[in-house]
């Protein structure tokens, strides 16, 4: 809405400050990552070359451009290095985790949305509460439970279910448990808000027209909750692909995930250029789900108006 006198400096200021901040600290860093991914490692400070030197004028720029190369991408995409396997395994682990999250999260969200109105805020708070406590703490809690001498094995052996401790910690199973546990609120909340909005008279109408409850769920409730399913799935899938803490603490040495590979490449091998190439390729993998997620969010917001 154009209002007389409102188009002034105030408007410009309110847009410009966060805009410039994000350009400088969110977008510009990606361009730098992209540039460094085309550079080579050197023993210097900073540890990559070439550096853009404009003191020689235009020739500095052309020199700089001519020294850029795709060598790091070749290295990352080489089958003998484990990066490709890590990308693949990350996508598989994230996909399976997202499906598990849906299977675990949907009944919870559904039951919450059908609970009496008076206790819904309390249930909602109970779902959010673990999210407010540290992510690291929640992952750490599982180490004590899943380790060979941990509480789960102790309990099962005491009950006589097993004789020897189960190997769960440092396997992919532990990673799945960790991801499902840590990301559960992110799945339940969008599902709950989609299910809670559902007009219950629709189900009464379906029943009135002769549709039994279970069928009504698949014909009415589930299709109408799909935006929540999509939002929750993407909200879990995208960060899970790049997850580092969970595979690092709960996974084994054979658990391949790209976030962990990037971290190792950076902190152990200290190759900034290769880690940058890994990051650029990871972003390329994720760009489509991120754009879809943004569109869903935008539509939700428009609908709220």
Q: Which of residues 21-50 bind other proteins (CB under 8 A)?
A: 21-23, 25-30, 32-33, 36, 46
Q: Judged by CB under 8 A, does residue 114 bind other proteins? A: yes
Which listed residue (100, 189, 234, 256) binds other proteins by CB under 8 A?
234
> What is the Cα–Cα distance from 6 to 155, expressed in whole angstroms?
67
Q: Judged by CB under 8 A, does residue 238 bind other proteins? A: yes
- Whether omega before 46 lies within 30 degrees of 0, making that bond cis, reads yes
**What 8-state DSSP symbol labels residue 70?**
S
Beta carbons of 91 and 285 less than 8 angstroms apart: yes
Beta carbons of 235 and 293 less than 8 angstroms apart: yes
Q: Judged by CB under 8 A, does residue 1 bind other proteins? A: yes
Which listed residue (10, 74, 88, 223) binds other proteins by CB under 8 A?
10
> Which part of the chain contacts other proteins (CB under 8 A), choosing from 60-68, 80-88, 160-168, 243-251?
243-251
In the window 41-100, what residues touch other proteins (CB under 8 A)?
46
Q: Judged by CB under 8 A, does residue 218 bind other proteins? A: no
> Which part of the chain contacts other proteins (CB under 8 A), choosing from 59-67, 75-83, 118-126, 156-164?
118-126
Query: Cβ 56 to other proteins, closest distance in Å?
Result: 20
**What 8-state DSSP symbol labels residue 119?**
G
Beta carbons of 202 and 208 less than 8 angstroms apart: no
> Which part of the chain contacts other proteins (CB under 8 A), choosing from 57-65, 67-75, 81-89, 196-204?
196-204
Beta carbons of 36 and 48 less than 8 angstroms apart: yes
Size of the site for other proteins (CB under 8 A): 100
Query: Cβ 226 to other proteins, closest distance in Å?
Result: 19
Query: Cβ 37 to other proteins, closest distance in Å?
Result: 10
Q: Judged by CB under 8 A, does residue 246 bind other proteins? A: no
Using DSSP's 3-state secondary structure scheme, residue 263 falls into helix
Which listed residue (151, 161, 162, 226) binds other proteins by CB under 8 A?
151
> Which part of the chain contacts other proteins (CB under 8 A), choosing from 3-11, 75-83, 95-103, 156-164?
3-11
Q: Judged by CB under 8 A, does residue 192 bind other proteins? A: no
**Burial per residue of 1-30, b for 16 or more beta-carbon CB atoms within 10 angstroms, e otherwise:** eeeeeeeeeeeeeeeeeeeeeeeeeeeeee
**Burial per residue of 160-186, b for 16 or more beta-carbon CB atoms within 10 angstroms, e otherwise:** eeeeebbebbbbbbbbbbbbbbbbbbb
Q: Judged by CB under 8 A, does residue 254 bind other proteins? A: no
Which listed residue (91, 104, 224, 230) binds other proteins by CB under 8 A?
104
């Amino acid at each position: 809405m154009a209002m007389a006198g409102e188009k002034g400096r105030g408007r410009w200021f309110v847009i410009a400050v966060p805009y410039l901040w994000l350009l400088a600290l969110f977008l510009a860093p990606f361009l730098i990552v992209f540039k460094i991914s085309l550079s080579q490692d050197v023993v210097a400070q900073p540890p990559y070359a070439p550096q853009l030197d404009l003191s020689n004028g235009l020739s500095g720029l052309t020199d700089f451009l001519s020294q850029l190369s795709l060598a790091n991408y070749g290295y990352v995409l080489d089958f003998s290095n484990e990066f490709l396997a890590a990308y693949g395994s990350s996508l598989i682990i994230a996909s399976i985790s997202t499906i598990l999250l849906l299977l675990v999260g949907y009944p919870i969200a559904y039951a919450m949305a059908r609970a009496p109105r008076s206790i819904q805020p309390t249930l909602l708070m109970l779902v959010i509460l673990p999210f407010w406590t540290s992510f690291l703490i929640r992952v750490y809690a599982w180490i004590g439970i899943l380790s060979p001498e941990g509480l789960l094995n102790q309990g099962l052996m005491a009950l006589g279910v097993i004789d020897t401790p189960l190997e769960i910690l440092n396997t992919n199973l532990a990673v799945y448990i960790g991801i499902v546990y840590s990301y559960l609120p992110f799945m339940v909340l969008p599902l709950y808000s989609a299910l809670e909005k559902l007009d219950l008279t629709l189900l009464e109408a379906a029943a009135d027209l002769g549709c039994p409850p279970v069928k009504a769920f698949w014909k009415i409730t589930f299709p109408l909750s799909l935006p929540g399913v999509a939002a929750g799935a993407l909200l879990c899938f995208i960060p899970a692909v790049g997850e580092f803490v969970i595979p690092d603490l709960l996974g084994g040495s054979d658990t391949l995930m790209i976030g962990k590979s990037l971290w190792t490449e950076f902190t152990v091998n200290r190759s900034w250029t290769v880690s940058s190439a890994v990051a650029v390729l990871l972003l390329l993998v994720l760009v489509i789900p991120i754009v879809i997620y943004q569109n869903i969010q935008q539509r939700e917001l428009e609908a709220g108006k």
